[in-house]
């Protein structure tokens, strides 16, 4: 296992290894290829195949050791954190410095095959699925997508002892029934519905127990474990059934200012720690029962919860909570993220948590109004704030826009009037919330702004990231 001194060196020197022109939030395939060419300009990189969209998928080999490790990242295109970390790791292995003993140990004892960015089409579009809508991690049996065939071919030809399946976890998971966020989540995938154990899976559990201990030692954030639900269509479960020791690592979330860049660093450290423990078999010193001591993940989080709202229906008043999620999308033309909100649940959410919570006891909900805008120029933030103050949430008019789904303005754009219905599951969150004291909030595309904010905010984009365009 890694010594304390080596860990400290890795932490202190990480900024040297980190590829600064790659961001953990989004990686364009063209940028990825440029960095990869810089890092592996030798015969250790091979073309593994071509994606549905015609993009190249590479595999990189490192080391000449007996134990074989297969790693793949970004089979889900909107999960780029581990791809960034793998580029940092390749940069680390290329350099000569004070940690050469670890590099020598890895290269002499291990042969590592890396397939970074298995889904480059999805990576470019920032979608989970590939270009024809297939979730590659549900294609291990039918092998309909070329990306799935590439991964399966490498497994069959390389015959790895260990397989690292690297993902990003969505922001709605917490650690068991709490509001604590996991920085990293693990799974030793089961290979049958009975969650049976074989030697390969026991090794996975032991290694995860060691990695969990390392994170606790570093005080590097909280960890969680996925429930042992068998999914025969997934590659991790399939490879585990073939005898490989599979380790699923999911990059979680942190409330710290570094965000995903901190989780990227943890991926870098975890992989090196795993390589070290596999190289000398030190992970075998751990009892697999410690794997089960890692608390389970629970999906108990929302982006926004409006608590204790009053809703009237058929002359009755009901007190409800409304849970809202904001789906993150990527505009490939503008190279920016935008969000589409939806109401996910209405009722008692007292056992759920949110990134933003508002106690709205005594507040009732009413629809936003439509405003006919006849000026050809884009309205200013001051003008929009005035509209919002007066209960308008939709502008009807031919405003300049090159977006089909969203607008960067902090107010929705509608091409025609449409009666806004009551809050309903799956519908966007656009409402006015007010009480008898004339206090109020405006909800635009699931983003909330108070009446006080509207009086003093010069730039509403701090509160309302984007609004939507309606036909």
- Which residues are paired to 442 by β-bridges? 432, 449
- Unique residue bearing structure tokens 């409006």: 306
Round to whole Å and give the CA distance between 417 and 103.
Answer: 65
**Cα 22 to the center of its chain, rounded Å:** 16
**Closest of 360, 366, 367 to residue 437, by C-alpha:** 360
Q: Which residues of 128-151 are buried (b: 16+ CB within 10 A; e: fewer)?
A: bbbbeebbbbbbbeeeebbbbebb
Q: Which two tokens stand for residue 86?
A: 């793998």
**Cα 318 to the center of its chain, rounded Å:** 35
Q: CA end-to-end span of the chain, whole Å?
A: 59
Sign of torsion over alpha carbons 147, 149, 153, 155: positive
Round to whole Å and give the CA distance between 137 and 152.
Answer: 11
CB 88 within 8 A of CB 131: no
Round to whole Å and give the CA distance between 167 and 175.
Answer: 18
**Closest of 339, 323, 296, 298 to residue 172, by C-alpha:** 298
- Which residues are paired to 186 by β-bridges? 225, 249
The yes-or-no answer on residue 231 being catalytic is: no
Question: How many CA atoms does the CB half-sphere of 184 hold within 13 Å?
Answer: 30
For residue 155, count other CB atoms closer than 10 A to its CB. 20
Round to whole Å and give the CA distance between 233 and 231.
Answer: 6
Phi/psi-derived region of residue 243, left when phi > 0, alpha when psi is between -120 and 50, beta in every other case? left
What is residue 225's three-state secondary structure?
strand
What is residue 135's three-state secondary structure?
coil
CB 428 within 8 A of CB 340: yes
Check 250, 296, 408, 436 and give the catalytic one: 250
Round to whole Å and give the CA distance between 72 and 346.
Answer: 39
Round to whole Å and give the CA distance between 32 and 263.
Answer: 19
The catalytic residue positions are 250
């Amino acid at each position: 296992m890694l010594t304390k001194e080596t860990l400290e060196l890795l932490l202190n020197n990480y900024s040297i290894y980190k590829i600064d022109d790659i961001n953990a939030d989004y990686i364009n395939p063209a940028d990825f290829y440029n960095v990869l060419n810089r890092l592996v300009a030798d015969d250790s990189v091979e073309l593994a195949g071509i994606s549905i969209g015609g993009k190249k998928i590479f595999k990189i080999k490192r080391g000449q050791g007996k134990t074989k490790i297969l790693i793949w990242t970004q089979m889900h295109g909107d999960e780029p954190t581990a791809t960034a970390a793998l580029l940092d790791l390749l940069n680390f292995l290329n350099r000569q410095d004070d940690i050469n003993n670890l590099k020598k140990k890895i290269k002499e004892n291990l042969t590592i095959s890396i397939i970074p960015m298995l889904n480059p089409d999805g990576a470019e579009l920032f979608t989970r699925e590939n270009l024809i809508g297939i979730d590659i991690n549900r294609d291990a049996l039918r092998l309909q997508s070329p990306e799935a065939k590439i991964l399966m071919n490498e497994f069959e030809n390389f015959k790895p002892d260990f397989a690292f399946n690297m993902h990003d976890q969505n922001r709605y998971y917490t650690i068991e029934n709490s509001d604590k966020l996991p920085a990293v989540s693990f799974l030793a995938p089961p290979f049958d519905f009975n969650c049976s154990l074989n030697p390969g899976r026991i090794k996975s559990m032991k290694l995860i127990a060691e990695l969990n201990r390392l994170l606790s030692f570093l005080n590097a954030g909280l960890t969680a474990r996925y429930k042992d639900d068998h999914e025969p269509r997934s590659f991790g479960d399939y490879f585990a059934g073939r005898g490989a020791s599979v380790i699923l690592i999911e990059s979680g979330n942190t409330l710290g200012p570094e965000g995903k860049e901190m989780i990227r660093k943890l991926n870098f450290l975890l992989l090196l720690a795993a390589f070290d423990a596999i190289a000398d078999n030190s992970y075998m010193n751990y009892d697999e029962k410690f794997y089960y001591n890692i608390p389970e993940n629970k999906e108990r989080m929302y982006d926004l919860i409006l608590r204790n709202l009053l809703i009237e229906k058929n002359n009755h008043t009901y007190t409800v909570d409304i849970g809202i999620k904001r789906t993150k999308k990527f505009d490939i033309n503008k190279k920016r993220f935008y969000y589409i909100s939806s109401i996910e649940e209405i009722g008692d959410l007292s056992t759920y948590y949110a990134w933003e919570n508002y106690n709205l006891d005594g507040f009732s909900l009413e629809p936003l109004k439509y405003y006919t805008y006849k000026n050809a120029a884009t309205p200013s933030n001051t003008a929009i704030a005035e509209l919002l103050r007066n209960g308008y949430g939709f502008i009807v008019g031919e405003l300049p826009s090159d977006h089909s789904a969203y607008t960067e303005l902090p107010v929705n754009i509608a091409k025609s009037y449409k009666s806004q219905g009551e809050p309903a599951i799956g519908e966007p969150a656009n409402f006015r919330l007010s009480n008898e004291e004339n206090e109020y909030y405006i909800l635009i595309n699931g983003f909330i702004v108070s009446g006080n904010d509207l009086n003093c905010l010069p730039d509403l984009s701090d509160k309302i990231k984007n609004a939507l365009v309606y036909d």
